A and B are shown apart, each in its own frame.
Chain A
Amino acid sequence: MDEKITEASSKDNYRQEPKVGVYVCHCGGNISDIIDVKAVAAALAKYPGVTVAREYAFMCSSNGQDLIAEDIKNLGINRTVVAACSPSLHELTFRNVLQRAGVNPYLHEHINIREQASWVHKLDHAGATAKAIRLAQAGVEKVKRKDPLNAIRVAAEPRVAVIGGGVAGMRAALSAAGKGLEAVIIEKGPGLGGKLLGLGKMYPSGEEGPAIAGKLEALVRADKKITVHTGADIDFVGGFVGNFKINFKNADGTSAQVKAGAIIMATGYQHYKPAQGEFGYGEDANVVTLPEFISLMKNSPAGRLEYSGKEIKSLALIHCVGSRQVEGVHKPQADGKINDYCSRTCCSSALYAANQVKDKYPGVRIYDVYRDIRTYGMQHEEYYDKASKDGVLFLRHNETDQPVVTSDRTGHTVKVKDVLTWGEELEVKADLVVLVTGMMPADISLIRSQMKMPIGADRFLQEVHLKLRPVEMANSGIFIAGTAQYPMDVPEVMAAAGTAAAKAAILLAEPDIPLEPFVAVVDEHKCTGCGLCPAECSYDGALMMAEKNGKKVAVVNPALCKGCGACVAVCPVRAINVAGWTLDQFDAMVEAIAKE
């Protein structure tokens, strides 16, 4: 258990006589068109414990907020109920009003009479009004029983650990260091750069992969705030936001540990490796993958596209190999799943490669066998455009009619049921077949299982919300950068890594991290030490049995507890509660709603 966690005690109006102010909002007609808000306010004004009840057009407006602040100042209101919209919209607004007026912000209760009453009972005005009154009364009962709470503050290591030293990891470390944080890159390979080290000319800039990686590496190496560990074999990742620990073995076998306040996962992807015999791969030397082809092209002499000493005069590209797989058509991977996602970068990359071939060796015939062309990126459509204009012939199949590759002495034949040629079975001859392989998630099972990191259906790491919180994981303090999250190209990786670093920097900006106080709290006098609750908790280290004052009791780690309440449900003596949502409060609310 970490001693750095502090729960600041409060000296506020705890145990003061509750003086509740109730505020009913019209929501500009959203509520008041259905509900008789005056009647609600009148009913609440008479309710025990309520000092004042008012209604107003827009409680969230600055005039509405002032109304509450005035009552706190003039009438000594020390608890508030706002009956209005959804708490997810404005609960924080009103908590802040209390805070500014010198009242503990958690002594507020937000009651939703819009979604729960006016919007769902449009045809029953009297019923909606009666329901609103009950809900508001339950809110009063709850708020009367509330205790002041304070944000939990966790002291944080002012350091970010970046796992993976590809372009994503390097960019994230550089951005974090730029914001004044210490950054530690932990890379399992012998050097920095990830997959870029194995790729040739890359879109959009036309620079060589190793050159791009080299530029970033030079910056990383020059930055005094960044430490790099290569050849690092991670064997343990643990802790919680602000206090993570990562143990690993160095290449020379020695052990090392990095402590960090936040972790950025930049573990990248792995190239899809076709199965033995998939489109002839592994059986026929002239069937290669796109990354293999890109390096082959790099080593080919000017004026002659060459592969193992022979001139290549025609080549066929087959898209979506190992990506966008279809149940029943493709063999599942080792884990029984198919890769049904699109690898996103391969269309652009394949066409970019085709264009390079056409530029360098204009005589080479290129056939492009595809299902859809997804050149989605900024100006990537031009690669497609150029390839067409330069005479690359596109053949399109649908998802169930996969192309077939056969080889004999005369070369390789790709058969395609071409939907563009009204379903005609077309055959092309090619000296070389290039399988446009995509991305698979990197194997990070050890780290993932130790930290219970969520993954999506595609088995890449999953963010909380792709639009609203795109680089954060559900595990607080862990962020994702780059292709560990989903297939991206380098420009996208850079943007994502910069964002992840910014998020980590915001988190670690102050020496301690404030967390919501809605965590489990054990009443040590009541707890019998039965040990039932820890078994219920799904968050490692959040709830444990321990000796305290010579007694075995349940002990909560507020930094790890998610406030889910699973433990509360099993305690036979009501000794454990989630702060702000106690069983006593619920009892009182239910009674207020159900009373005759």
Chain B
Amino acid sequence: MKVNPELIDEIKKYGAFDISACFNCGNCTAVCPLSKEDSSFPRKLIRAGHVGMEDKISSAIEPWHCYYCGECSATCPREAQPGEYMMALRRYLIAKYDITGLSKIFYKNGWLQTWLALGMLAAFYWLYSSYTGDFGALAGKIELAFPVYVTIALGGYVLNMYRYAIVKPLGGIKASLKPAHIYETLVHGFTQKNFNGCEETDWTRWIAHLLVMSGYVLTLLISNLHLLSPLDKHYGAFGPVSLLVWYAGLAILVGGGIMSLRRMFKSAESSKFSHPSDWLFVVTMFLIGASLLFTHYLNVAYGPQDPLLAKVYRLNIAIETVWILLIVPFTKWIHIFFRPLAVYFQHVKKEAEAGTAFTLNIGAAK
């Protein structure tokens, strides 16, 4: 194999600035609680990066197993930050899976996405404010368009991930139909459970994530099902929808707050190196929670006709729009989709190696 020294330079553009210092001792692999004999990382992936095995990197599933507990980085004698390298690989892979090419541009140009987000926020707010028709009805349509957009965006990713991780390296369309594998994938999807596989479970981080996740999922439900019409109805403080909103907003604020504090004080390995897009993700989430809470508070307290409510609600919808268009497809957020998929693809790979995978031979079929 011809060594390609440029690959590692490319990966370094996504973070992992210290990874050249790695001298292959393997301590990271030894301490990683999630690395297993049949999917051994991070050292092997670091080496593959160093010598330029592009195929191996772009078909790698292992980066999605890693939950950035940071144990490897804390143990590395060369301070090569292998955990951060895994993070960089995830960014690199997302950029690969992303057909629009936008992820790549955003990752490589630190604050571009943030400026763009601010610009878009201003533009949408202005647009929604200048809308003279029934904004409540428009908001309902906008919110219902979100899932369609997200599905298209994620679908593109998933297909591409499948292409890189399965079709290319295994030379065909393979799948596993075993119920156990599908069940495990779903469990991972809902619980993100490997989080706790890391030996020294970081409970604060886990709780923060759980709060944010649940708050977020609720917010998603509230908006995508268009459960709220604050400009049309007057909600009581303790009605069922209100309870949902209070919980969702507060969970996001508290969870997001904890995460931001940690990032600010860099108390954990996983928060030592933040990409601007990580901040964007946290801050926007925070803003969604805050504007949702504020909107609902104004409605409960002053009723649907409150002039301030009209403004805040438009802001809330503008933030959500930016979130869906720019943040969801192009930040750490989508990791939650790739993780369970990676668990599934790992099974497919194993099955394929054992020759028991479900195979679809297009063209070659007799």
Contact = CB atoms under 8 A, between A and B. Distances in A.
Interface of A: 365, 367, 384-385, 388-391, 393-396, 418, 420-422, 424-429
A384 B23 contact: yes
Contacts of A394: 23-24
Kindly name the residue among A365, A391, A421, A425 whose own CB sees the greatest number of chain B CB atoms within 10 A: A421
A354 to B, nearest CB: 13
Nearest to A427: B2
B20 A388 contact: yes
Given A384-B23, A388-B23, A393 B3 contact: yes
Interface stretch (B44-52, B110-118, B268-276): B44-52
A393 B5 CA distance: 8
B362 interface: no
Contacts of B48: 421
Nearest to B20: A391
Contacts of A391: 5, 8, 20
A420 B44 CA distance: 9
Contacts of A429: 2
Contact of B78 (A385, A390, A396): A385
Given A393-B50, A418-B51, A428 B22 contact: no
A426 B22 CA distance: 19
Contacts of B8: 391
B3 A389 contact: no
B225 interface: no
A418 B52 CA distance: 13
B144 interface: no
Interface in B18-76: 18, 20-24, 44, 47-48, 50-51, 53
Which 5 pairs across A and B sit closest by C-beta, in order of nearness?
A389-B21, A420-B24, A428-B3, A427-B2, A391-B20
Nearest to A416: B3
B18 to A, nearest CB: 8
Contacts of A385: 21, 78
B20 A389 contact: yes
A428 B52 CA distance: 11
B79 to A, nearest CB: 10
Contacts of B50: 393
30 contacts: A367-B3, A385-B21, A388-B20, A388-B21, A388-B22, A388-B23, A388-B78, A389-B18, A390-B20, A391-B8, A391-B20, A393-B3, A393-B50, A393-B51, A394-B23, A394-B24, A395-B3, A418-B51, A420-B24, A420-B47, A421-B48, A421-B51, A422-B44, A424-B1, A426-B2, A426-B3, A427-B2, A428-B2, A428-B3, A429-B2
Contacts of B1: 424-427
Contact of A426 (B18, B44, B51, B78): B51
> Most chain-B CB neighbours within 10 Å: which of A391, A418, A427?
A391
A384 B20 CA distance: 12
A426 B52 CA distance: 10
Interface residues of B, number: 18
A243 B3 CA distance: 63
Contacts of B3: 367, 393, 395, 426-428
Contacts of B47: 420-421
A386 to B, nearest CB: 9
Contacts of B23: 384, 388, 394
A573 B278 CA distance: 100
A418 B50 CA distance: 12
The interface centre, meaning the residue of B3, B8, B20, B48 with most chain A CB atoms within 10 A of its CB, is B3
A37 B88 CA distance: 78
Nearest to B18: A389
Contacts of B21: 385, 388-389
Nearest to A391: B20
Contacts of A396: 24
Contacts of B51: 393, 395, 418, 421, 424, 426
Contacts of B5: 365, 391, 393
A216 to B, nearest CB: 36
A421 B22 CA distance: 13
Contacts of B18: 389
Contacts of A388: 20-23, 78
B231 to A, nearest CB: 58
A390 B20 CA distance: 7
Nearest to B8: A391
Contacts of A390: 20
A376 B74 CA distance: 25
Interface centre among A389, A424, A426, A429 (most CB of B within 10 A): A389
Given A385-B21, A426-B3, 19 more contacts: A365-B5, A384-B23, A389-B20, A389-B21, A391-B20, A393-B3, A393-B5, A394-B23, A418-B51, A420-B24, A421-B47, A421-B48, A421-B51, A422-B44, A424-B51, A426-B1, A427-B1, A427-B2, A428-B2
Interface in B86-121: none
Interface string B129-163: 00000000000000000000000000000000000
Nearest to A384: B23
A54 to B, nearest CB: 62
A108 B18 CA distance: 70
Contacts of B78: 385, 388
A365 B51 CA distance: 13
Contacts of A422: 44
A116 B323 CA distance: 89
A421 B1 CA distance: 11
B365 to A, nearest CB: 34
In this complex, the member of A393, A394, A429 whose beta carbon has the largest number of chain B beta carbons within 10 angstroms is A393
Nearest to B48: A421
A357 B126 CA distance: 57
Interface string B309-345: 0000000000000000000000000000000000000
Contacts of B2: 426-429
Interface in B151-210: none
Contacts of B44: 422
Nearest to A396: B24
B3 to A, nearest CB: 5
Contacts of B53: 421
B60 to A, nearest CB: 15
A394 B24 CA distance: 10
A341 B84 CA distance: 41
A4 to B, nearest CB: 61
A393 B44 CA distance: 15
Contacts of A426: 1-3, 51
A384 to B, nearest CB: 7
A586 to B, nearest CB: 61
B345 to A, nearest CB: 22
A418 B47 CA distance: 11
A30 B22 CA distance: 54
A334 B173 CA distance: 62
B23 to A, nearest CB: 6
Contacts of B24: 394, 396, 420
Contacts of A421: 47-48, 51, 53
A391 B50 CA distance: 9
Nearest to B9: A391
A443 to B, nearest CB: 38
A396 B44 CA distance: 15
A410 to B, nearest CB: 12
B194 to A, nearest CB: 25
A131 B3 CA distance: 74
A406 to B, nearest CB: 13
A385 B3 CA distance: 21
Contacts of A427: 1-3
A391 B20 CA distance: 6
Nearest to A365: B5
Nearest to B23: A388
Nearest to A390: B20
Contacts of B20: 388-391
Nearest to B22: A388
B62 to A, nearest CB: 15
A218 to B, nearest CB: 42
